[in-house]
């Protein structure tokens, strides 16, 4: 049922917690134990679904819940008094949403559903209880938050120092690596619901410029973004062109036992 942009659903049985995007993501950092998986299952119990275009976290508002994104894409952005916006990042399944806003009590950005999304709502006291019960899980979430911070730094370099072609190529590669961590992408490509306007607001370009850059990258035989699909035509060439070093994503490391 859709009410005010929000789909309200009953708590059906979850798919195996082992296959949840968050567990897939955290397992890049730590080998999760049975008790830790039980705690994560508890955090997934309160499910909500939001329609595409619905903002469920608002800049300047107090925020009492964080969310775990189970499916779909969202974007986080800030707005200026002029009405213009800067997209700070896109979130994909397995990402925490609004964690900083809960800790700081007031949100400094909006979070809006790009597609229809399903999330698990988590209250602050539930997070604290989970971290007290399973300190290694707290460390894993801290790793994920630190990784998100590293990505924001890389986005700043995108806008400040990379050419338009390099920043688009770098962005498409980063999303590919992030999605591969949760089983939604590989070196062939991935499904991508973003419009050229989304890319423009994230990369500091106009939509017309984004269109021109995508055409050039396609004509150069590196990547094609068409019909909601990113296809890596020559993955190695694109990585070299963007000077992409995935070290900041920290996806290839020995697991903590």
Overall pTM > 0.95: no
- Predicted confidence at residue 161, as pLDDT, reads 92
Number of H helices, E strands in the chain: 9, 14
Domain boundaries, the chain: 2-146, 162-249
Q: Tell me what the pLDDT averaged over the chain comes to.
A: 89
- Predicted confidence at residue 28, as pLDDT, reads 87
For 54-84, the pLDDT digits (tens) are: 999 888 888 778 999 999 999 999 988 888 8
Q: Across residues 247-254, what is the average pLDDT?
A: 77
Buried b (16+ CB within 10 A) or exposed e, 196-213: bebbbbbbebeeebbeeb
Q: Is the pLDDT of residue 117 over 80?
A: yes
Start-to-end CA distance of the chain, whole Å, equals: 43
For 77-111, the pLDDT digits (tens) are: 998 888 889 999 999 999 999 887 777 777 888 99
Query: Residue 53: pLDDT band by 50, 70, 90 thresholds?
Result: very high
CA distance 23 to 92: 13
DSSP string, 25-58: HHTTTB---HHHHHHHHHHT-SEEEE-TT-EEE-
The answer to whether 231 and 187 have CB atoms below 8 angstroms apart is no
| CATH architecture observed for domain 162-249 | Orthogonal Bundle (1.10)
Q: Is the pLDDT of residue 13 over 50?
A: no
Same fold, 2-146 and 162-249: no
| CATH architecture observed for domain 2-146 | Sandwich (2.60)
- Predicted confidence at residue 199, as pLDDT, reads 97
Q: Tell me whether strands 74-79 and 85-91 are parallel, antiparallel or unpaired.
A: antiparallel
- Predicted confidence at residue 253, as pLDDT, reads 55
- Predicted confidence at residue 1, as pLDDT, reads 41
**Helix (H, G, I), strand (E, B), or coil: what is residue 92?**
coil
């Amino acid at each position: 049922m859709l009410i005010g942009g929000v789909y309200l659903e009953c708590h059906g049985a979850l798919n195996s917690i082992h296959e949840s995007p968050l567990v897939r993501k955290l397992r890049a950092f730590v080998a999760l134990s049975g008790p830790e998986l039980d705690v994560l299952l508890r955090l997934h119990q309160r499910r909500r679904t939001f329609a595409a275009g619905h903002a469920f976290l608002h800049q300047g508002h107090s925020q009492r819940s964080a969310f775990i994104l189970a499916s779909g894409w969202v974007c986080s952005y800030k707005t200026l008094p002029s009405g213009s916006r800067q997209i700070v990042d896109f979130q994909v399944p397995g990402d925490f949403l609004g964690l900083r806003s809960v800790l700081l009590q007031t949100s400094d950005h909006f979070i809006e559903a790009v597609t229809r999304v399903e999330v698990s709502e988590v209250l602050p006291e539930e997070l604290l209880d989970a971290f007290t019960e399973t300190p290694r899980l707290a460390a894993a979430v801290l790793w994920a938050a630190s990784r998100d911070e590293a990505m924001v730094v890389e986005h700043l370099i995108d806008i400040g120092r990379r050419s338009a072609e390099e920043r688009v190529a770098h962005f498409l590669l980063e999303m590919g690596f992030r999605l591969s961590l949760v089983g939604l992408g590989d070196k062939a490509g991935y499904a991508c619901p973003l419009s050229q306007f989304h890319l423009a607001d994230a990369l500091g370009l106009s939509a017309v410029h984004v269109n021109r850059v995508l055409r050039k990258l396609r004509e150069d035989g590196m990547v094609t973004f068409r019909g909601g699909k990113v296809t890596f035509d020559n993955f190695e060439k694109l990585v070299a062109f963007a000077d992409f070093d995935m070290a900041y994503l920290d996806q290839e490391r020995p697991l903590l036992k």
